[in-house]
Amino acid sequence: MTQVLTVSCKLKVSQSQAAKLDATMDAFVQALNWVNQNTPEKVVNAVKLQSLCYYQIRARFGLSSNLAQQVCRRVAGARKVARQRNRPVKEFKRRFVTYDARIFSFREKDWTVSLATVDGRERFELAIGNYQRGMLAGSNPKSATLVQRKDGSYSIQICVEAEPPKQQNTDKVIGVDLGRRDIAHTSEGDNWNGQQLNKVRDHYCRLRASLQRKASKGTRSSRRRCRELLQRLSGKERRFQTWVNHRISKAIVSRAKTTNSAIALEDLTGIRERVNQQPRSKTERRRANSWAFYQLRQFLEYKARVAGVSLILVPPAYTSQTCHKCLHIHPDPAQSYRSGKSFKCGHCGWEGDADLNGANVIALLGAAVNQPRGWLANCRATESPPCTAKQSGSGSLRHRSP
């Protein structure tokens, strides 16, 4: 199974070429919004959209045949995603153009790309470094997306298909416990503290609230300036969050590859909805909802696949309440051996960091999925008193004292 990686490359653009790219992006985005507004919302099939408005797109916006088809595919794809989220596609704002192999080509001998515009084909030189050259060398990309950044520069996001290395067979598993106090804590003891990150996010929240108040008062120029600052602030916080997730995921995958281990991670799908049902303050809700754990999981997944490291998703039930030494939880369902960052088992007496304990339990669950026979044999060989061990097909674990 091939893996698709996106390589972002900056374009060297002359003044005349910039005018052609601007005209193409403007026409493409205007066509997207026109198709979205003038076709039934329930139509999510690209071929049907094309039959409804292909000739109008070409006549109104001067797009080539393939760019008109790309408009229909993009609208159809956006509608499918919006349907899954139960919300309509309102408007396309960002200036971009999607390309396929018929209107885009990459040439390695001089590191250039050829793109179709509303005024014919143009060839652009890539301003890239060794990382991008290594990713593109020997490849034959079939699709790309042209975007314009906030500073006015142009970039081409080239999709490269690569065959990932074979995943290494191993019985070692590194468990990763995700949380707010520690963004990530591994079963080997590595952790990334979230206190400093919370301070940064709280600072952005206070600054954003202050600008929002000022944006609703004052003169017209001051309100406009506050709105501009809010937009810059949003991008800065998002980039900071992405950078932290990249740094954490890279360190975890590198460690797993070095130690020839797999990675076990909690499947936190739907955790936000479940947690928000609990009574909490507005600040706690904002802190819990503002960090992108799903983004961190995506980074771990694709980095692990590139490195040939296996990634195992396990259910999160009872991972924070189970003792990783004796596999017991508190006999009273209303109580727990965990108290904040501390964990003290009332059965075997183990005491230590609660997140480290949770990461070790996740590692055990990952080992149960990866090497079920050996793990179950080790469970039965423990010297603890007889216990009730239930393991479903999904790998859930629940142990109680007799």
**Is residue 381 over pLDDT 80?**
no
Sequence-distant (≥ 6) Cβ neighbours of residue 59 within 8 angstroms: none
Is residue 17 domain-shared with residue 150, that is, in the same domain?
yes
| Residues 181, 341 contacting (CB under 8 angstroms) | yes
Is residue 269 domain-shared with residue 358, that is, in the same domain?
no
**Is residue 385 over pLDDT 50?**
no
**Is residue 256 over pLDDT 70?**
yes
Beta strands in 334-379 (DSSP E): 338-339, 342-344, 351-353
Sequence-distant (≥ 6) Cβ neighbours of residue 108 within 8 angstroms: 136, 137, 138
pLDDT of residue 30: 95
β-partners of residue 300 are none
pLDDT of residue 143: 93
| Residues 268, 319 contacting (CB under 8 angstroms) | no
Is residue 252 domain-shared with residue 144, that is, in the same domain?
no
User: How far apart are alpha carbons 226 and 231 in whole angstroms?
Assistant: 9
Confidence of residue 303 (pLDDT cuts 50, 70, 90): very high
Instruction: Give pLDDT tens digits for 145-191.
Output: 999 988 889 999 999 988 888 877 888 999 999 887 788 999 998 88
| Residues 306, 164 contacting (CB under 8 angstroms) | yes
Is 168 a member of any domain?
no
- What does each C-alpha distance from 267 to 275, 327, 365 come to in angstroms? 14, 20, 12
Is 266 a member of any domain?
yes
pTM confidence score: 0.73
Is residue 149 domain-shared with residue 32, that is, in the same domain?
yes
Instruction: Give pLDDT tens digits for 6-54.
Output: 999 999 999 999 999 999 999 999 999 999 999 998 999 999 999 999 9
For the chain, what is the domain count? 3
Of the candidate ranges 61-70, 175-184, 266-275, the one whose mean pLDDT is the lowest: 266-275
| Residues 260, 172 contacting (CB under 8 angstroms) | yes
Is 327 a member of any domain?
no
User: How far apart are alpha carbons 161 and 169 in whole angstroms?
Assistant: 24
Last residue of a domain, one of 141, 162, 183: 162
Last residue of a domain, one of 314, 329, 364: 314
pLDDT of residue 399: 44
Is residue 157 domain-shared with residue 227, that is, in the same domain?
no
Helices (H), 111-178: 130-136
Angle of helix 46-61 relative to helix 65-84, nearest 10 degrees, comes to 130
233 vs 354, which has greater pLDDT? 354
| Residues 34, 60 contacting (CB under 8 angstroms) | yes
Is 257 a member of any domain?
yes
Is residue 118 domain-shared with residue 229, that is, in the same domain?
no
**Is residue 292 over pLDDT 90?**
no
Is 320 a member of any domain?
no
Query: For residue 106, what is the enclosing H or E element?
Result: strand 104-107
Is residue 72 domain-shared with residue 198, that is, in the same domain?
no
Is 153 a member of any domain?
yes
Domain range spanning residue 350?
Answer: 338-400
Is 325 a member of any domain?
no
pLDDT of residue 144: 95
Is residue 307 domain-shared with residue 182, that is, in the same domain?
yes
User: How far apart are alpha carbons 240 and 232 in whole angstroms?
Assistant: 12
For the ranges 173-177, 208-212, 275-279, the maximum mean pLDDT occurs at: 173-177
Is residue 155 domain-shared with residue 177, that is, in the same domain?
no
Last residue of a domain, one of 136, 162, 188: 162
Is residue 8 domain-shared with residue 112, that is, in the same domain?
yes
Of the candidate ranges 203-217, 264-278, 315-329, the one whose mean pLDDT is the lowest: 264-278
β-partners of residue 113 are 106, 124
User: How far apart are alpha carbons 130 and 135 in whole angstroms?
Assistant: 9
Strand order in the sheet with 96-99: 96-99, 143-148, 154-162, 3-12, 120-127, 112-117, 104-107
**Is residue 393 over pLDDT 60?**
no
β-partners of residue 158 are 7, 144
Is residue 49 domain-shared with residue 194, that is, in the same domain?
no
Is residue 150 domain-shared with residue 185, that is, in the same domain?
no
Is 322 a member of any domain?
no
